[in-house]
Structure 1
Amino acid sequence: MALRETAPPEVGGYGIEDRLGSGGMAWAISPAPPRSGRRLAIKVVHGQYADDDGFRARFTREVAATRQANGAFTAPVADADAPRP
């Protein structure tokens, strides 16, 4: 999927390369290789949820649960949260 004209050039210090898809709560983008040298998928929360304390609490729990999962077919969490996710 092509980047939208309104897409930022970077998110949380990670440069943006392409858009992977979009969903009800967020859209995912693939950045250029970050500091680790590994390409990442970034979940960017829609603005209507970014300032919702309840959503941010649920997202924090989602990140914690995801960090507990591991395996050959599970992507690790490289980074989480931002002043405005």
Structure 2
Amino acid sequence: MLIAPGSRLDPYEIVMPLGAGGVGEVYKARDTRLGREVAIKVPPANRGSPRGILP
């Protein structure tokens, strides 16, 4: 499931998808607290783990 640009995950604003594969999806995002660009990896929904941000 792709997350739309402009969506928010806590303090992170999604900018664009970077890639997807068997272990999840990676997005370019902006940390709104620190004002810098980050990469966020989201595990796939079918792996039995909740969708979220991995440390």
Give the TM-score band, short-chain normalised.
0.5 to 0.7
Q: RMSD in angstroms over aligned alpha carbons?
A: 2.3
Whether the aligned pair in 1 keeps the contact of 2:44 and 2:51 (CA below 8 Å) is no
1:40-61 Cα deviation digits (max 9, x unpaired): 000011111252xxxxxxxxxx
Partner Cα separation in structure 2 for residue 50 and residue 31 of structure 1 = 24
Larger helix proportion of the pair: 1
Q: Read off the aligned partner of 1:23 and give its amino acid letter.
A: G
Q: Read off the aligned partner of 1:32 and give its amino acid letter.
A: R
1:30-82 Cα deviation digits (max 9, x unpaired): 1134211110000011111252xxxxxxxxxxxxxxxxxxxxxxxxxxxxxxx
Larger strand proportion of the pair: 2
- Partner SS for 2:19: strand
1:43 aligns with 2:10: no
Q: TM-score, normalised by structure 2?
A: 0.66
Task: Indicate the percent of aligned positions where both proteins have the same amino acid.
Answer: 30
Q: TM-score, normalised by structure 1?
A: 0.47
Q: Following TM superposition, where does structure 1 have runs of at least 4 consecutive aligned residues deviating by more than 6 angstroms? A: none
1:24 positional shift: 0.8
Structure 1 portions without partners, runs of 5+: 52-82
Which is bigger in relative contact order (C-alpha 8 A, separation at least 6)?
A: 2
